[in-house]
Amino acid sequence: MCGVTGIVKAHLDETPNEKVLLAMRDAMHHRGPDEAGMYLAKGIGLGHRRLSIIDLSHGQQPMVDEAVGLALVYNGELYNFEQIRAELETAGVEFTSHSDTEVLLRAWQQWGEACVGRLRGMFAFAMWDMRASRIFLVRDHVGIKPLLYAFTRTGDLVFASELKGLLAHPDVERTLDPQALEDYLALGYVPDPKCIYRGIYKLPPGHWLSWRAGEARPPVCVARRPADRAGC
């Protein structure tokens, strides 16, 4: 178990507040007591709490490769990462670690968002495309690993593995959703994509979301396969 979080600014020329990002990240300390990392740049801030399982001495996050323009925060485990790695090595891709985190980053580098269809495992991750100034949020098809997102009062997109990570941001609304509360009392849980708070959403299982920093229109969740599209 790890914890991921991030802030995508509404204005590309702004850098996220470091203290706010640290508060969001460390609100999920219990998800990753082994290591902590952060990446800050114009338009983006990524945070990560790590529970080390694979390649204990490498695989630190956020994993950033400025040469190819990608930055990744990832929570989960890819069951078929060795097969994907072997396929990438056959294609000439070189690796510097044995972590499944690097396999995911190189898979995205090689195949773009189409790589998601090759992944087998439990995962939730955010991939920042520096050249396009676009964030991609992705969740495994069963929804084992959680990922929530919202917009702040100033229009920034924020995301985190847990609700408490989002609520550590001072500009995230905290208004109860009456329908979500009714669902919880009737069902014992709040069905996706809603959250107990209005304006905060769970990324549905098997979906990905993309949003460009500064984009006026809201993001749209898309199923991994067109036949599965259900919206969110």
Whole-angstrom CA distances from 11 to 8, 73, 81, 169 are 9, 22, 36, 17
CB atoms within 10 A of CB 230: 12
Q: How far apart are CA 72 and CA 62, in angstroms?
A: 5
C-alpha–C-alpha distance, residues 138 and 9, integer Å: 19
| Rounded Cα–Cα distance for residues 173 and 47 (Å) | 21
Residues 204, 228: Cα–Cα separation, whole Å:
11
- Report the C-alpha gap between 216 and 219 in whole angstroms: 9
2 in active site? yes
Residue from 2, 115, 195, 221 carrying the catalytic annotation: 2
Calpha distance 137→147 (Å, rounded): 8
Backbone φ, ψ for residue 140 (5° rounding): -60, 160
Q: Which residues are known catalytic residues?
A: 2
